[in-house]
Chain A
Amino acid sequence: MPDAPPRQPEPAGTAFWLLALGGLLLVVTGWLLPWFVEPTSSGVGFSGQDAAVSFNGPGTLLLDLLGVCMVCLLVGLAADAVRRRRSPQSPLPLTRARGAIALAGAALTLLIWYIVGVQRAEPLFGTISADAIADNAVWMTLTGFLVLAFAYGLRGWVLRHGGVALAIVAVCFGAAFPFIFNASNNGIDIIVWGAQFAGIYTLLALGLNVVVGFAGLLDLGYAAFFAIGAYTTASLASSAHGVHLPFWVLLFAGAAVAGLFGVILGAPTLRLRSDYLAIVTLGFGEIVPDMATNNAFNQTGGPNGLSGVDQPSLFGHNFGLFGINPKPYFYAILVLIVLVILVLRNLERSRLGRAWVALREDEIAAAATGINTVTTKLLAFSIGASVSGFAGAFFGAMLGSVGPENFSFAVSVTAISTVVLGGIGNITGAAVGGLVVSFVIFWVLPHLQGWGTTLGATTGVPTLGTIDYSKYTYIVYGVILIGIMLVRPSGLIPSRARKIELQGTQTESLAATQGRS
């Protein structure tokens, strides 16, 4: 263990001021907005007004406390700015007290929100309306307070423990997700979306990252292993074959079966050049859904697939139907993602992980240092496949039915674009890529129509609302993919280790300089 660097007060830079300003803006906007835009007649939302109306006495007290927090923060920030003006070199006294005040503000917001019992009419990112803006004000205030707390008290700690901080924020956000976007009958579909698409695609991205990112093998048929996992669950926990194994066993059974198929496919073909491997996996990815559609061996149920898969249960509590009660599924997938991330992170730093990197960078050199290239590749391939099978097993139980149309080539393509878009060879990048891509495909594109209509109505340009946006979803998606890759060729969050490796070894090719001119 190297010695920890001596603790020093971090000098406040532009980033700090931007952060503080942003947080302040969020707090103030979130606080003031409802007073102006919320229609007074339509129920109770979050605003000082509502809180005072619906909860006399303690409600106003809490609001006053919140106001005190805000004033303290404002004064503190102003004092910092003044001190900064006087002596620009001195580091800011980032006191814990102010951080605590900001956190208290966030807690108070939550409390008031809970007491008032906000009836959220619209989910965030849904159709834009005055109600929605007013309701989302809570989250603006809350986020603003948290940002300020970070900027004031926790900044030094966060800078030293970036990964842990990110993990905490991600897990907290994930855990709070169903509550943030909950409430109304419309609001439920964002949790369904979160569990079904974002969660599953994040798992797929994590698994594919092992194959493509760590080991550098291009896999274009990743959906096949996903399908294998799903069909394993569907055949062993449904009335289709009269077998009813418990869900938690099947999760790992699905992973094991998919891993086995990974070995079976990989063993003969891994000596191919990487692009030949890509086309072989692509072929495999076409054969598996084909077999499912054509009801191979009379086991797959043909084009209709298998339905009536048992609902998972935990300690005797049945999860219920996904469409009606998505929350347990959402939390289960969250736990699975954390689990997979932990396993993959350790794998990445193990002997095997280093062997993968060596293999990716130079296969001949890796073989010369005594790495068994075949086993190492095969392990990457089958571990990636088993993560996919794991996700598939969960997917099958979640939807309750499995059909071949869920595993088309489009799924493989989406999985590979999540990995590359997020940043190849980087667990955080893969997870972020999974979230971003599924957000775009399954949330932004289907909602274009609604947004266009609202926008047309509010801006007074009715043509905006009459355009048939569903015709242009492919174009929008294509342009987004091209745009992101052109702007950030190594992904949204490039792998730091990979960048260092490449910088050290690769001299810029002559032809590349010409290509850029």
Chain B
Amino acid sequence: MARTEVERPAAGLRRAGPVIAGLRRSIGGATARLFLPALAAVMVGLVLLVAARHGASEAGQQLVNGLQQGAIYALVAVGYTMVYGIIELINFAHGDVFTLGAFYSILISELLGRTVHLDLGSLATSGLAGLVVALAILFPLTMLMSGVTGVVIERVAYRRLRDAPRLAPLITAIGVSFLLEGIMFAGFGSGNVQAGKGGWIHGTAFTIHGVFVGWKELFVIVVAAALMVLLHQFIHHSRLGKAMRATAQDRDAALICGININRTISATFFIGSALAGAGALIYALYYNLLQWNLGFNLGIIAFTAAVLGGIGNIVGAGLGGFLIGLVAVYGADLVGGQWSNSIVFSMLIIVLTFRPTGLLGVQVPDRA
């Protein structure tokens, strides 16, 4: 094909702009293509660095710790991403719904002890069967109560503001967050609260090359992963899940198709909050120590995980949670625990600079 444009020396200057733009585009393309390999390389580099400095067994041990922390982040992040996906609200109260879930589990144990004289603590420590029964009682009840809390919050604080200026529900979300924290503060005090689940799960499951994998860690990771898989199946293969996806895509069109928007949004809040409740129960089983404002920092990090994975994307939220757990643990091992928040957020800023939609997010136009 013949070139129609005649080269002229003066055109060199004029063409500098497009050349720079082209250069930027090709650099941008390169970073987009190289991004995931680069991220993987950084992660591997982190692991190797820890291994080189503290030995391979510590690196392996931290892998277990990171996955365990990440599992909890992931469960909370899913709630953020679901709510954001469907009503474009950063649900600041979600972290506190999480904490409330942990306190619910304490209340449930106490209530069962008082009313039907069922001591969950001694049942759970009596043996494997007892533990399974105790968890089978505790998990559904905690998740149900957390879920209902989420639905009530949406009904009271968000639904009326659905068509208000975009930041109005954000402020009510902050208000709900304060309210929930205030309730926990008034009810349980400012100090550490024992969750009463200390010895429920204990012991080492197996050891590989000096890396201890406890039943506790295994439990956290497996339960979180199972819940996420379950959620993914639900979203993609159930009628309600389909309605949720439709509502997230276009609320008006979904309404025209006969989807009950209010019920779908309520269901989203229920599921998100129930997962936060499950995460809280897992947290209580693992750490056994709670504070009234625990959900604040955890919520911020979980939201970061949701954004990192690409907000609105459930698989992304899970991935982001695990990734952040790993980065926080390895980074803290390298430069000190007091920097772990800085590490997480620096990583977020860098990732978003190179990949503005997060790891698995797709480019969505801003709604005007």
- Residues of A near any B CB (own CB < 8 A): 212, 218, 268-269, 271-276, 278-280, 282-284, 286-287, 290-291, 293-294, 361-363, 409, 413, 416-417, 420-421, 424, 471-482, 485-486, 489-490, 508-512, 514-516
Contact = CB atoms under 8 A, between A and B. Distances in A.
A477 B338 contact: no
B167 A424 contact: yes
A484 B267 CA distance: 27
Contacts of B368: 361-362
B171 A416 contact: yes
Interface in B328-344: 336, 338-339, 341-342, 344
B366 interface: yes
Contact of A283 (B162, B179, B349): B349
Nearest to A511: B251
Given A272-B356, A276-B356, A478-B176, A472 B186 contact: yes
B182 A514 contact: no
- Name the 6 nearest CB pairs between A and B, nearest first: A474-B182, A481-B175, A478-B179, A283-B345, A478-B178, A512-B163
Contacts of B176: 478, 482
Nearest to A212: B167
Interface of B: 84, 88, 90, 156-157, 159-165, 167-172, 174-183, 185-186, 251-252, 254-256, 261-262, 296, 300, 303-304, 307, 311, 336, 338-339, 341-342, 344-346, 348-349, 352-353, 356-358, 364, 366, 368
Given A417-B171, A474-B185, A486 B157 contact: yes
Nearest to B311: A275
A294 B343 CA distance: 13
B363 to A, nearest CB: 9
Given A274-B366, A475-B183, A514 B167 contact: no
Of A482, A486, A512, A516, most buried by chain B (CB within 10 Å of CB) is A482
Contacts of A268: 349, 353
Nearest to B254: A511
Contacts of A509: 163, 251-252
B337 to A, nearest CB: 10
B92 to A, nearest CB: 8
Mostly helix, strand, loop or mixed at chain B's interface?
A: helix
A399 B344 CA distance: 32
A366 B249 CA distance: 25
A514 B254 CA distance: 12
A413 B300 contact: no
A461 B53 CA distance: 67
Contacts of A424: 165, 167
A275 B90 contact: yes
A284 B346 CA distance: 8
Of B156, B171, B261, B358, most buried by chain A (CB within 10 Å of CB) is B171
B305 to A, nearest CB: 10
B316 to A, nearest CB: 13
Contacts of B345: 282-284, 286-287
B178 A477 contact: yes
Given A284-B349, A294-B338, A482-B157, A471 B186 contact: yes
B179 A479 contact: yes
Contact of A481 (B160, B171, B186, B311): B171
A291 B341 CA distance: 10
A514 B171 contact: no
Nearest to B293: A474
A516 B164 CA distance: 11
A410 B252 CA distance: 36
B350 to A, nearest CB: 9
Contacts of B352: 269, 272, 276, 279-280
27 contacts: A273-B357, A279-B304, A280-B348, A282-B345, A283-B345, A286-B345, A294-B336, A294-B339, A294-B342, A361-B368, A362-B368, A363-B366, A416-B167, A475-B178, A475-B182, A477-B175, A478-B176, A481-B172, A481-B178, A482-B157, A486-B161, A489-B168, A510-B252, A510-B255, A511-B162, A511-B261, A512-B162
B262 A514 contact: yes
Contact of A276 (B88, B307, B344): B307
B178 A420 contact: no
A478 B353 contact: no
A164 to B, nearest CB: 28
A471 B185 contact: yes
Given A283-B345, A293-B338, A478-B182, A273 B172 contact: no
Contacts of A362: 368
Contact of A271 (B177, B342, B344, B356): B356
Of A273, A279, A280, A363, most buried by chain B (CB within 10 Å of CB) is A279
A482 B172 contact: yes
A486 B174 contact: no
B165 A489 contact: yes
Contacts of B255: 510-511, 514
Of A269, A490, A512, most buried by chain B (CB within 10 Å of CB) is A512
A274 to B, nearest CB: 7
A485 B161 contact: yes
Of A278, A280, A293, most buried by chain B (CB within 10 Å of CB) is A280
Nearest to B356: A272
A405 to B, nearest CB: 14
Contacts of B336: 294
A272 B366 CA distance: 10
Contacts of B364: 273
A273 to B, nearest CB: 6
Contacts of A479: 175, 179
A328 B300 CA distance: 39
B40 to A, nearest CB: 22
Nearest to A409: B300
Given A475-B183, A486-B172, 12 more contacts: A272-B356, A279-B307, A280-B349, A409-B296, A420-B168, A478-B179, A481-B171, A481-B174, A485-B172, A486-B160, A489-B161, A512-B163
